[in-house]
Amino acid sequence: MLRLPKAVRFLNLTTVPAPAPAVFPPLPGPTPLSDLQREVLELKRKADAVILAHNYQCEDIQGVADFVGDSLGLAYKAAETRASTIVFCGVHFMAETAKIVNPGRRVLLPDLEAGCSLADSCPAERLAQVKAENPGLAVVAYINCSAAVKALADVICTSGNASRIVERIPADREILFVPDQNLGQWVSQRTGRRMRLWPGSCYAHVQFTPTALLRAKALHPGAPVVAHPECTEAVRGLADEVCSTELMVAWARRQVSPTLIVTTESGMIHRLRREVPDKTFVAAPTDRCSCNECRYMKMNTLAKLRDCLANGGPEITLDEGIRAAAEVPLRRMLEWSK
């Protein structure tokens, strides 16, 4: 049996103080580019590439991106671009989305292992089986899913347009919402539309707890709280606003309070600090950590981005049948949320 030192054996974990939330005061000014960032920009120019980055990417990647945004904004940007290469700094399903609307362009992802727990929770074969057993279902798929799942959906949505999309489904159709049960529940509560919810969740967002959020609120009294809809109902219930990462920027601009608590992946704070420079942002903690990072989003690094531009890979490839089938519900979303 493993013998622990006496001091460790008598440590009562319930008395270990919970970590204080990370606090980000206003930036002193613009951050100068590093040598590696300059190298990336030069490689990007030579490759006629566009760099699209999600709000959760690390600060140095956001600093060289042509566009930083949420899944919806990134899907529109991907559909608009004329660059021959798209380097997608985000997770795999986001790069796949860019490929779905750009079959003729090269789409690169700095780390092909950058997946998503939500996307993993809904294998296409299981969804196909549920559809076969329930032929009348209208499938609304949150964009956080594989291309093969998108190919089985009636329409795609993001956290920025989910309520609007669900409201467009005829009232006599029963909806199956995949794969995020928390987002689905939030949409159902907002729209009054009953839906079947796929039992998936984001491993990172469900780590926020009411206890940890109440602790942040107690340390920053009066600071308004924004939360992503992938958080649990108990956490959403403590927030002043629940919205997509893009809408968090507009929300932060509207607040009079100098300090705001942000309950989502902590990369979001880089974007907020740049675009809402007069505020102090508090990253909502979890029970174990003073902020919350998505391990998949953080697999991309500036060095991998440089290598990916230099080597022309790793590249996203899709079976053409799946791509073409996935493009239909994806274009439908882009049309419905104009």
Whole-number minimum distance, CB 208 to ligand 13P, in Å?
12
Whole-number minimum distance, CB 16 to ligand 13P, in Å?
28
Instruction: At 307, give phi and psi (nearest 5°).
Output: -65, -40
Note whether 44 and 87 are within 8 A (CB): yes
Of 43 and 272, nearer to ligand SF4 (C-beta) is 272
Note whether 160 and 70 are within 8 A (CB): yes
**Residues contributing to the site for ligand SF4 (CB under 6 A):** 91, 116-118, 144, 202-205, 230, 265, 294, 296-297
Whole-number minimum distance, CB 229 to ligand SF4, in Å?
11
Of 229 and 329, nearer to ligand SF4 (C-beta) is 229
When CB distances are held under 5 to 8 angstroms depending on the partner's kind, the choice from ligand 13P, ligand SF4, none that residue 117 binds is: ligand SF4
Of 205 and 323, nearer to ligand SF4 (C-beta) is 205
Of 176 and 294, nearer to ligand SF4 (C-beta) is 294
Of 37 and 55, nearer to ligand 13P (C-beta) is 55
d(CA 90, CA 54): 5
Note whether 114 and 300 are within 8 A (CB): yes
Q: Is position 39 an interface residue for ligand 13P (rule: CB under 6 A)?
A: no
Instruction: At 115, give phi and psi (nearest 5°).
Output: -100, -150
Q: Residue 66 half-sphere exposure, CB side, CA atoms within 13 Å?
A: 19
Residue whose entry in the numeric block shows the structure tokens 């022309």:
312
When CB distances are held under 5 to 8 angstroms depending on the partner's kind, the choice from ligand 13P, ligand SF4, none that residue 245 binds is: ligand 13P
When CB distances are held under 5 to 8 angstroms depending on the partner's kind, the choice from ligand SF4, ligand 13P, none that residue 178 binds is: none
Among 57, 85, 159, 207, binds ligand 13P (CB under 6 A): 159
How many residues make contact with ligand 13P (CB under 6 A)?
12
Among 214, 218, 226, residue whose Cα is nearest residue 261: 226
Q: Is position 292 an interface residue for ligand 13P (rule: CB under 6 A)?
A: no
Whole-number minimum distance, CB 70 to ligand 13P, in Å?
3
d(CA 281, CA 37): 25
Over the window 110 to 149, marking each residue x when it contacts ligand 13P by CB under 6 A and - when it does not, the resulting string is ----------------------------------x-----
Cα dist from 189 to 193, 234, 259, 278, whole Å: 7, 13, 29, 34
Helix boundaries (H) for the chain: 6-9, 35-46, 59-62, 71-80, 92-100, 117-120, 124-133, 147-150, 162-167, 181-191, 210-219, 233-236, 245-254, 268-275, 302-311, 320-336
Among 58, 86, 178, 202, binds ligand 13P (CB under 6 A): 202
Among 54, 51, 75, residue whose Cα is nearest residue 165: 75
Residue nearest to ligand 13P (CB): 70
d(CA 163, CA 186): 9
Of 245 and 337, nearer to ligand 13P (C-beta) is 245
Of 204 and 225, nearer to ligand SF4 (C-beta) is 204
H and E: helices and strands count for the chain: 16, 13
Positions in 212-271 near ligand 13P (CB under 6 A): 228, 230, 244-245
Whole-number minimum distance, CB 144 to ligand SF4, in Å?
5
d(CA 161, CA 163): 6
Binding residues (CB under 6 A) for ligand 13P: these are 55, 70-71, 144, 158-160, 202, 228, 230, 244-245
